[in-house]
């Protein structure tokens, strides 16, 4: 049972990780996804694809937190033999799962995707919540899956989760994103086609990227794929900066998203922090050279792959100019990308998750 605050078509990396994991587990198991209706569009409340059943509970979002009371009943009715696998980067849902597990004397797993920062009017409450509430949920879990070794060390130090209960399982990348090696780009071929994919949220800091685009000296065109709460604000910033070299195309999924990677010459990730960015793995599989900010999450995945820069517009612009002006440099980083991506296929990730189930829940 995969328990997640959001699920596709809601946009985001966590959502697509859960979808890929559920699909992979469905090859050998009966899989149920419990989630909310937030961002689900016209998707049915109940659906089934192969062995994966999806149940979406009516919900509201308050202070960036999904609230779905019906989830409590679904969890109470779950088979006692079910694996309760909670995906978390938000409040309330972790406490709900922990309470049900306590009532039923059932063990559960937490999949820790990202440590979020406070935002909005009630953001000041988040540090106290994490210290006094969320930490207890993590310590009560039979196991906590994290994405990187540095995240494991941080979780042990910050939340005092026992080391033997922490398991490192990286994100995966789908076969559809792996592409043939790209021919060497020539400077005469026109502007460098730069791609960003992600939620338009504070964590991704696309405003930093737009400011960098106002500083680049080489011909570069940026395509922004994604949607989110900062969409209007970012469009206004691009207009104020007179950026005629930036195009916002909205959300893309499936074949349309894969085509976006295929049409790009390079990929950029200007985030403030990451867990293990799925979009970076997809760009790596597409053999794209990557420019990324040297921040937690990015450095774990991309430290030996991407052109890593300080998180400021000037440094980002300098690196983008370097990739645009040196085709050999771009090709070398593209080769590093695809070599590293081959270590992250979803079949391997699913097997590692099954190993965690066997170790902590048997």
> What is the pLDDT, as a whole number, of residue 187?
86
pLDDT at 131 (0 to 100): 87
Interatomic CA distance for residues 212 and 266, integer angstroms = 15
Give residue 182's pLDDT. Answer: 81
In this structure, the answer to whether residues 118 and 213 fall within a common structural domain is no
Among 281, 272, 295, 279, residue whose Cα is nearest residue 209: 272
Give me the domain span that covers residue 332: 175-344
If asked whether residues 214 and 162 sit together in one domain, one would say: no
Residue 49 has φ and ψ, to the nearest 5°, of -125, 110
What integer pLDDT is reported at residue 122 of this predicted model? 59
| 111 & 208 share domain | no
Residues 282 and 162 in one domain: no
One domain, residues 218 and 154: no
| One domain for residues 213 and 357 | no
Q: Measured in Å, how far apart are the chain's first and last C-alpha atoms?
A: 16
* Residues comprising the chain, all counted: 362
Could you write out the three-class secondary structure of the chain? CEECCCCCCCCCHHHHHHHHHHHHHCCCCCEEEEEECCCCCCCCCEEEECCEEEEEECCEEECCEEECCHHHHHHHCCCCCCCEEEEECCCCHHHHHHHHHHHHCCCEEEEECCCCCCCCCCHHHHHHHHHHHHHHHHHHCCEEEECCHHHHHHHHHHHCCCHHHEEECCCCECHHHCCCCCCCCCHHHCCEEEEEECCCCHHHCHHHHHHHHCCCCCCEEEEEECCCCCHHHHHHHHHHCCCCCEEEEECCCHHHHHHHHHHCCEEEECCCCCCCCHHHHHHHHCCCCEEEECCCCHHHHHCCCCEEECCCHHHHHHHHHHHHHCHHHHHHHHHHHHHHHHHHEHHHHHHHHHHHHHHHHC
Do residues 150 and 185 share a domain? Answer: no
> What is the domain count for the chain?
2
Same domain, 253 and 354: no
Same domain, 201 and 107: no
Spatial CA neighbour of 21 closest among 351, 356, 357? 351
pLDDT for res 84:
96
- Dihedral of CA 91/71/21/176: which sign? negative
Rounded distance between C-alpha atoms, residue 278 and residue 276, angstroms:
6
200 in the same domain as 80? no
Contact of 148 with 301, CB cutoff 8 Å? yes
- From first to last of the 362 residues of the chain, give the pLDDT tens digit: 999 999 999 888 889 899 999 999 999 999 999 999 999 989 999 999 989 999 999 999 887 788 999 999 999 999 989 999 999 977 889 999 999 999 999 999 999 998 776 555 656 677 788 888 999 999 999 999 999 888 999 999 999 999 999 999 999 998 889 987 788 888 888 999 999 999 999 999 999 999 999 999 999 999 999 999 999 999 999 999 999 999 999 999 889 999 999 999 999 999 998 988 999 999 999 999 999 999 988 998 999 999 999 999 999 999 999 999 999 999 999 999 999 999 898 999 999 999 999 999 87
249 and 333 both lie in a single domain: yes
* CATH number of the CATH domain containing 16: 3.40.50.2000
In terms of domains, do 161 and 299 share one? no
- How many angstroms from the chain centroid is the CA of residue 41? 20
Q: At how many degrees (to 10) do helices 313-325 and 327-341 cross?
A: 100
Q: What is the pLDDT of residue 330?
A: 96
Q: Do the bridges between strand 46-49 and strand 52-57 make them parallel or antiparallel, or are there none, so unpaired?
A: antiparallel
266-309: pLDDT as tens digits: 999 999 989 889 999 999 999 999 999 999 889 989 999 999 99
């Amino acid at each position: 049972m995969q328990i997640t605050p959001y699920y596709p078509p809601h946009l985001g990396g966590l959502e697509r990780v859960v979808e890929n994991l559920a699909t992979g587990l469905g090859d050998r198991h009966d899989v149920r996804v419990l989630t909310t209706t937030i961002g689900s569009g016209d998707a049915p409340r109940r659906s089934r694809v192969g062995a994966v059943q999806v149940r979406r509970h009516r919900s509201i979002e308050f202070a960036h937190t999904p609230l779905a009371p019906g989830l409590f009943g679904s969890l109470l009715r779950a088979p006692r033999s079910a694996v309760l696998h909670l995906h978390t980067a938000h409040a309330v849902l972790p406490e709900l799962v922990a309470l049900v597990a306590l009532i039923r004397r059932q063990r559960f797993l937490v999949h820790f995707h990202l440590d979020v920062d406070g935002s909005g009017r009630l953001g000041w409450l988040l540090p106290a919540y994490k210290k006094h509430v969320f930490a207890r949920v993590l310590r009560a879990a039979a196991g906590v899956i994290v994405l990187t070794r540095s995240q494991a060390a941080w979780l042990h130090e910050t939340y005092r989760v026992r080391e033997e209960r922490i398991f490192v399982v990286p994100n995966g990348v789908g076969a559809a994103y792996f592409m043939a090696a790209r021919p060497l780009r020539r400077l005469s071929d026109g502007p460098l086609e730069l791609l960003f994919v992600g939620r338009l949220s504070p964590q991704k800091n696309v405003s930093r990227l737009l400011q960098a685009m106002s500083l680049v000296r080489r011909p570069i065109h940026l395509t922004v794929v994604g949607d989110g709460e900062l969409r209007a604000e970012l469009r206004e910033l691009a207009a104020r900066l007179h950026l005629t070299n930036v195009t916002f195309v909205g959300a893309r999924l499936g074949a349309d998203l894969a085509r976006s990677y295929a049409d790009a010459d390079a990929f950029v990730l200007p985030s403030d922090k990451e867990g293990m960015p799925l979009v970076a793995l997809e760009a790596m599989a597409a053999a794209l050279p990557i420019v990324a900010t040297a921040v937690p999450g990015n450095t774990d995945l991309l430290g030996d792959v991407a052109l890593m820069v300080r998180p400021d517009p000037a440094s980002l612009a300098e690196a983008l100019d370097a990739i645009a002006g040196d085709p050999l440099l771009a090709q070398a980083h593209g080769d590093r990308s695809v070599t590293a991506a081959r270590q992250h296929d979803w079949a391997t990730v699913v097997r590692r998750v099954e190993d965690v189930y066997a170790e902590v829940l048997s």
